[in-house]
Structure 1
């Protein structure tokens, strides 16, 4: 099976190059990996010690930030290398004060894995949540490099726990220790013979909890909000916006910030066309009296996390369709009641917060309007729900400290 996997990976490299002609995303995927090794050789100083952290995409990178901060404090002379599998992750995080080198992860072939590790020669390697690449793991084991899984999540339907996935399970032996998010993951690993497991939780809780201590002030949001109740709708997709628009268009005393997940002009224009109350875009805000508008569209990136600090209620997008629920922990850390769509079965933190009554799931615009009306008119209910969300964050921090104590 491993040989078949290697053949398929090599074929995928050929296919992806051709597919890039038709898909801008696939083109970025392949173009970004051109001359990858020569670029690394030109930037990596072999006389320095390096720590390698792999994140599949931007969400996993955010999970890695508390780990990066801890590692920089613990090993101040060591350089950090972050690898991304996805183009979106790499594009959006080309610079960060805690990262010395950003790179794409090469395709998972034995030769690529050997060359990549020869150049970086990491003192330790950290994989965030998932994105298990067997050839890289095998090479890490071969070179006896200390390797850790951070905030891991395992499911019983994964190949590791099937008869045909024995060769994949073998690659997991590269991990010195598994730090996982929940007891279910620990039990699965134990059943597969791995006892080097600690339930540490999710580093995202540490990441968002630190946001409270940051400077979250945004002058133009203060000008826009004034004394009104503010609903921040973050990372919305068209399916989410279909749930929101009826209520938004019928509301006169509530302010709304909408931060679409995709800020392509045609997407923003379609959203604007559905809004029937005074609306202003971030890109057009200069010189305007923002207090006179009811909706502010954030057609930019990098402001949503701080915008949640002004919210009285938050809607987090992704679960109204099939694109995947976005980060509910960012608004929760500010003690904000949260509403999401109905498709969140693969997001255990959302299910736990829903069970605690700090989050509400809606199937349609009528259900959204119903819970919004209750949260709007009943301030005690809104306050209690927000307190539950905030406590949920505070009671789940500490994953980074557990890793630090182990190291």
Structure 2
């Protein structure tokens, strides 16, 4: 398995530069990594001590953020290095204010790993959720660098739990401790003789709880809402449009705020062309048009979390495609949430569905029935929203568990 992995990762390193000619996303992926070592070698202060956080993309960034902010506040003498794997996360958060340096993670080749760690020499490392790069992990272990997994979640179909997964199981020995989201993950780790885990939940609960505390009013959204029942459709894909647009066409006395996952101009134009109601978009709206508009298209990033504060109902996209987006953001405001059927990989969704406050629809007919009941039955709507809010508050403080453990076991 080790030989196959090394062969595969080196082959990927050779072939990826050619992929940049066929995909804008791959161009970002390849070109962005060309800058990583330049930043490390030319810009960082070699006399500073670093704490390194690695995330796959935007969702994992949100999970790591509460811990990064806590360390930044309590231990300003350390510099924070943040690495991303995915362009979709890096391009949105490359100018974040919490990390001192934000770069793409160099590919997991033996040469890159040694070069990276020789430069950074991190005091400790935090990987978020499920980023497991064997060569990095093996070398961190060789160098005795404390390494932790935050908001980890494991499934029995992962290679660690297969009879042929010894190479990957050994990589897990690099982690000093696993902070996992659920009991099932802890039990899976125990099944392969890893007893160094704590079930402390998901740090995103701390992150979304902060949203309410820090939220600023959006007067233009209040102007659009105009005391009218409002459905916010967040992070939607074309697959979601197929489900909700028929409802939108036939609705009366309801306003819709749509924040598509893809905000490229051609996608926004395509979406607007499908809507036969008065529509305004964030990048060119006029205040005088807001009250009379039926649909508000949010063609920018960074404000959806605050917009959820104005939702009477939230539909969160992605679960008719491959991955559900963040349902905790609307839940923290005490809003009932509606999603598609593909949510089994998301613990918070499974928990809220079990509570009955996150409602699953499989098609337009079910969505119509669900929306109609939520709109007509105010007590039902409030009951579900209250359950969501209480669920978020109950699951706070995962960050505190992590910080208490690290401070107790490491010399910060």
TM-score range for the pair, normalised by the shorter chain length: over 0.9
Partner of 1:397: 396
Partner of 2:262: 262
Q: How does 1:344-359 map to 2 (within 5 A)?
A: 344-359=343-358
Once the 2 structures are TM-superposed, how far is the Cα of residue 287 of structure 1 from its aligned partner?
5.1
Matched, 1:302 2:302: yes
Once the 2 structures are TM-superposed, how far is the Cα of residue 87 of structure 1 from its aligned partner?
1.3
| 2:144 counterpart SS class | coil
Once the 2 structures are TM-superposed, how far is the Cα of residue 35 of structure 1 from its aligned partner?
4.3
Partner of 1:9: 9
Partner of 1:32: 32
Matched, 1:339 2:338: yes
Alpha carbons of 1:11 and 1:315: their partners in 2 closer, same or farther (altered >3 Å)? same
Aligned-partner Cα distance in 2 for 1:122–1:32: 22
1:353-407 alpha-carbon deviations (Å, 9 max, x no partner): 0110111011111111111111111110110010011111111111101011101
Moved more, 227-236 or 39-48: 39-48
Partner of 2:405: 406
Aligned-partner Cα distance in 1 for 2:30–2:41: 19
Check conservation: 2:206, 2:399, Cα contact below 8 A: yes
Once the 2 structures are TM-superposed, how far is the Cα of residue 207 of structure 1 from its aligned partner?
0.4
Structure 2: runs of 5+ lacking an equivalent: 407-412
Once the 2 structures are TM-superposed, how far is the Cα of residue 331 of structure 1 from its aligned partner?
0.1
Aligned-partner Cα distance in 2 for 1:63–1:261: 19
Q: How does 1:318-337 map to 2 (within 5 A)?
A: 318-320=318-320, 322-337=321-336
Aligned-residue RMSD, C-alpha: 1.1
1:122-163 alpha-carbon deviations (Å, 9 max, x no partner): 111000001100100011111111100000011111111112
Once the 2 structures are TM-superposed, how far is the Cα of residue 3 of structure 1 from its aligned partner?
2.2
Matched, 1:314 2:319: no
Once the 2 structures are TM-superposed, how far is the Cα of residue 289 of structure 1 from its aligned partner?
2.1
1:154-196 alpha-carbon deviations (Å, 9 max, x no partner): 1111111112110111111111101000101100111111111
Once the 2 structures are TM-superposed, how far is the Cα of residue 38 of structure 1 from its aligned partner?
2.5
| 2:123 counterpart SS class | strand
Aligned-partner Cα distance in 2 for 1:299–1:72: 32
Partner of 2:293: 293
Aligned-partner Cα distance in 2 for 1:182–1:347: 11
Structure 1: runs of 5+ lacking an equivalent: none
Matched, 1:83 2:60: no
Q: How does 1:36-115 map to 2 (within 5 A)?
A: 36-115=36-115
Matched, 1:228 2:231: no
Partner of 1:170: 170
1:20-60 alpha-carbon deviations (Å, 9 max, x no partner): 11111111111111142132111211111110000011110
Check conservation: 1:56, 1:86, Cα contact below 8 A: yes
| 1:292 counterpart SS class | coil
Check conservation: 1:216, 1:309, Cα contact below 8 A: no
Aligned-partner Cα distance in 2 for 1:248–1:47: 58
1:227-267 alpha-carbon deviations (Å, 9 max, x no partner): 11111100001111111112112222111100000012221
How many residues of Structure 1 are paired with residues of Structure 2 in the alignment?
Answer: 406
Check conservation: 2:224, 2:290, Cα contact below 8 A: yes
Once the 2 structures are TM-superposed, how far is the Cα of residue 94 of structure 1 from its aligned partner?
1.4
Aligned-partner Cα distance in 2 for 1:44–1:116: 12
TM-score (norm 1): 0.98
